[in-house]
């Protein structure tokens, strides 16, 4: 197995569905300008998922809002906050029942895309969200760009 150096402090996101690790980094706006160490390990064998991606970001703590967005792309991934080489906080993200102020409606003529208004989506079953304004239903991933 590919060995990746552990980090002193920062965030490790594990159990990301294979292929979604890059999207998670994009979502966190971690790209070319980011100066700390970042590791993206793809297609790691996993008992639970078959294959998974792992992301390690030094000197960066994921916020609750970001965790909610990660849940849309990589439900049931686990987020570990590392402090002084130890896991200070660990939680599993699950898709929220409602999204307030986050997410982008996929309907270009929806009022939330045309003029400013608070974005609001409600979960509809396991794998979909309904926009409270235009009432269209989207897959969780479609709300994140």
Contacting range for Zn ion; rule: CB under 5 A; set: 64-72, 75-83, 102-110, 120-128: 102-110
Of the pair 75, 103, the CB lying nearest Zn ion is at 103
Binding-site size for Zn ion (CB under 5 A) equals: 6
CA angle 38/90/92 to nearest 5° reads: 95
CA distances from 62 to 39, 48, 65, 75, 92 (A): 15, 24, 8, 15, 13
In the bound state with Zn ion, the residue whose beta carbon lies nearer, of 60 and 138, is: 138
Rounded CA gap, 65 and 61, in Å? Answer: 12
- Give yes or no for residue 143 binding Zn ion (CB under 5 A): no
Should residue 137 be labelled a site residue for Zn ion when binding is judged by CB under 5 A? no
Binder of Zn ion out of 69, 133, 140, 143 (CB under 5 A): 133
**Does the protein bind Zn ion through residue 107 (CB under 5 A)?**
yes
Residue 97 CA to residue 114 CA, distance in Å, equals: 25
Tell whether residue 131 is a contact of Zn ion (CB under 5 A).
yes
**Could you say whether residue 54 binds Zn ion (CB under 5 A)?**
no
Region 59-98 residues binding Zn ion, contact defined as CB under 5 A: none
In terms of CB distance, is 129 or 133 closer to Zn ion? Answer: 133
Could you tell me where the beta strands, DSSP code E, fall in the chain?
Answer: 10-17, 38-46, 50-58, 78-83, 86-92, 98-100, 120-123, 129-131, 137-138
Picking from 102, 92, 96, the residue whose alpha carbon sits closest to that of residue 13 is 92
Residues lying near Zn ion in the complex (CB under 5 A) are found at: 105, 107, 110, 131, 133-134
């Amino acid at each position: 197995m590919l060995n990746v150096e552990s980090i002193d402090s920062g965030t490790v996101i594990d159990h990301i569905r294979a292929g979604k690790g890059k999207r998670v980094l994009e979502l966190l706006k971690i790209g070319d300008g980011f100066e700390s160490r970042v590791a993206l390990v793809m297609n790691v064998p996993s008992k639970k998922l078959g294959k998974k991606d792992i992301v390690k970001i030094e000197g960066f703590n994921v916020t609750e809002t970001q965790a909610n967005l990660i849940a849309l792309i990589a439900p049931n991934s686990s987020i570990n906050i590392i402090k002084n080489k130890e896991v200070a906080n660990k939680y599993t993200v699950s898709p929220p029942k409602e999204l307030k102020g986050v997410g982008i409606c996929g309907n270009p003529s929806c009022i939330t895309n045309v003029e400013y208004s608070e974005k609001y989506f409600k979960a509809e079953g396991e794998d979909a969200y309904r926009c409270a304004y235009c009432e269209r239903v989207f897959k969780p991933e479609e709300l994140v760009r």
